[in-house]
Each structure stands twice: as structure tokens, then as C-alpha cells.
Amino acid sequence: MERIAALLLSIGVLAAPLPSKADGVDRTTFVPEGWEGAYDFGYAPVVRVGDMVIVSGVPASGDGSYEEKIRGMYRRAGELLEAAGASFADVVELTTFHTTPKDSPAFREEFELYMPIHREFFADNRPAWTAVGTTTLLSKTAPVEMRLVAVVGSGKTARVVRGAVETPEAPAATASSEPETGASSPN
């Protein structure tokens, strides 16, 4: 009888809902002035969950040259990050969607214009970044759109580890660590 009770108890424990990592973590949606249309359309411009900030796609739209559109996109993204308490230093992931290039050489040509502006905003921080070529964006005039993920405060403790990286299976004797400086050298 005790075995049956123990079995039933263990089944009950296993069947009980497990606490979510999000239990007790605040989720806040930010709709800064000028972004009300995005929210009314059906998406949140910025969501903060705990220390994580997710910025929805920010198009490089408006008038002006390619460079002016890209710089404006970065400025608007910075305003959205700031609304949620983050900065470009806190960005850990960046995804950009590009409509202009139709082949790899054209993509590289576009990046010759894009990268100097990117470096203005990510001078000392290198987030994980995926650049995707696509045929169209929701904003008809935007050649690029960006999405960002930040962790508030992470920019203050950012560091770069080059060379061999320690893993639990095999500690590396040659791992080196340096503070993020924005300087890079080809390896």
C-alpha cells in the first residue's frame, strides 16, 4: 500500500506544472510617440521581459540617400532601445533584412555603404549579426530593416575572448580575454 501511495505521489509531482523561467518576470510593451500606428497595426515596437529587450523591425524608410535612410533607421532603433532602458552597447543580437542586393557582389557593394554607419552605432560592441537578403519589406521605400535583441546592462561587462575557448569538456590553456575596445585585427 505504501508503494502505491509513493507511486501515486511521484506521478502527481511529475504531472504538476513546472514553474516557468518567466514566472514573476515583468513583461512591458513600449509604444513610443510616433509608433502608435505599429501597435494599432498589430505588433509591439519594443517588448521588455526582465532584462531582455526585443525591438521589432525598424525600416530604413523616408526620404534621402541610402546612407541617410540607414542612419535614420539606426537613430530610430536607438530611440526604441532607450524607451526600454537599453542602449546599443547592450545589443546582443542584430538581424538585418536587405532588399537591394540581387546577388553576392551587389550585397558586398551595399555593405561598403552600410558598414561605416553601422560602426558609428556599434563602435565598441559586436553583437551576433545575421544579414538576410529578401525580395520585399512591409515598408515599400525601405532598402533595409533591422531587428534587435538587447540585454540591459550587458554592455557594461562586455568582453571578447579570442583564440581557444574553454568548454566544460576541455579547458583551453591558450584562452585569452580582453575588454571590448572596438579595435579589430584580421586573424
The answer to whether residue 169 scores a pLDDT higher than 90 is no
Contact 158, 92 (CB under 8 A): no
The verdict on residue 6 lying in a domain is no
Residue type, position 41, single letter: F
CATH number where 87 lies: 3.30.1330.40
- Residue 99 and residue 67: Cα distance in Å, rounded? 15
Q: Which residue has the higher pLDDT, 174 or 186?
A: 174
- Predicted TM-score (pTM) above 0.85: no
Mean pLDDT across 79-87: 96
Q: Return the axis-axis angle of helices 66-83 and 104-121, rounded to nearest 10°.
A: 50
Give me the domain span that covers residue 94: 25-179
The verdict on residue 42 lying in a domain is yes
Which tens digits make up the pLDDT trace of 118-139?
Answer: 999 998 889 999 999 899 999 9
The verdict on residue 5 lying in a domain is no
Nearest residue to 54 via CA among 76, 30, 36, 25: 30
Contact 133, 35 (CB under 8 A): no
The verdict on residue 38 lying in a domain is yes
**Domain count of the chain?**
1
The verdict on residue 185 lying in a domain is no
